[in-house]
Amino acid sequence: MKVAMISDIHVDVNGSYDIVGSLVQCLKEQKPQLLVLAGDISGNIETTLSTVEAIESRSGVRVLFVPGNHDLWSEDFASAPTEEIYSRFCEDSHCLCGHPFTIGNTVVIGDIGWYDYSFGSSNYSRDEFSLMRNRGRVWQDLLRNQWTADNIARNDFFLHRLEKQMMMQQRDKHFLMVTHMVPIREMTVPNNREDWGYFNAFLGSEELGILYKRYPVRYALFGHVHYRQSIDRDNIHWSCRCLGYHHEWRSSHGLSCLEQIENALEFIEIG
């Protein structure tokens, strides 16, 4: 069975491109049984949910997703607390959070995940990372997500939530793990690039990758760090399949929106 994977389609930031139409065209051509989106569909819950619905109804392909940090953003915590937005996502029938999905011999398990500063440079202390700002630049979750009041606890919450679901599966199944956050250091940004020695702290958690290695995980899909890369390590296929922002596409300029989506998509065959 063919499963399609992609992340960070950011339909709002990429609003001048027909992201949904191009993705639907790819799905109709490739005919996978399932599309998995690893978060950052948009910066607004209503847009994200309607986009997922539109991709599924127009392509005829079952769509599952986890929210990304952008999907959880709120401009007004009084009327839209982070926890409430997350709960609404969990209730959606396309959302993987708390709802493992079995396809063939594989169980798809997912959630947003969070960050615990483990990918940040040792030149900074935990207190410095908890400020979430460096040299005049602010990590935007600080302004739009209430979980940033205690990132370490939030990361622990997701580690336990994911492991609980992994423990409940039958022993003969393989896992496709889906998070928005990054589970391995190799996929973070080189520390010598701009301020990334500091800002890598907010990309994910080393504990997530360590957790995966204790279970029969075959595939690990994620996004968040807008680089497209897939590597095989420790018997796991690690895939970061971000479409990213249109202004980042310049590294592969000359490609159309459709070609960028074809490039970002990865298809895996599962039994």
Phi, psi of 32 (to 5 degrees): -75, 165
- Smallest distance from Fe ion to CB 70, Å: 6
The site for Fe ion, by CB under 5 A, has a size of: 2
Distance CA 133, CA 115 (A): 15
Q: Which letter does DSSP use for residue 17 in this model?
A: S
x/- mask, Fe ion, residues 185-224, rule CB under 5 A, reads ----------------------------------------
Per CB under 5 A, the segment of 34-42, 113-121, 132-140, 201-209 that binds Fe ion is 34-42
Of 66 and 166, which CB lies nearer to Fe ion in the complex structure? 66
Which one among 40, 56, 71, 116 touches Fe ion, defined by CB under 5 A? Answer: 40
One-letter identity of residue 42: S
Which position's Cβ is nearest Fe ion?
Answer: 40
- Smallest distance from Fe ion to CB 157, Å: 21
- Smallest distance from Fe ion to CB 102, Å: 28
Measure the CA dihedral 33/266/213/40, to 10°: -90
CB neighbours of 217 closer than 8 A, spacing ≥ 6?
Answer: 174, 175, 176, 177, 236
Which one among 3, 8, 108, 209 touches Fe ion, defined by CB under 5 A? Answer: 8
Distance CA 249, CA 264 (A): 11
Please give the order of strands across the beta sheet that includes 236-241: 101-103, 106-111, 174-179, 217-222, 236-241, 228-233
- Residues between 71 and 110 that touch Fe ion (CB under 5 A): none
Of 41 and 55, which CB lies nearer to Fe ion in the complex structure? 41
Of 154 and 241, which CB lies nearer to Fe ion in the complex structure? 241
In the complex, which residues of this chain contact Fe ion (CB under 5 A)?
Answer: 8, 40
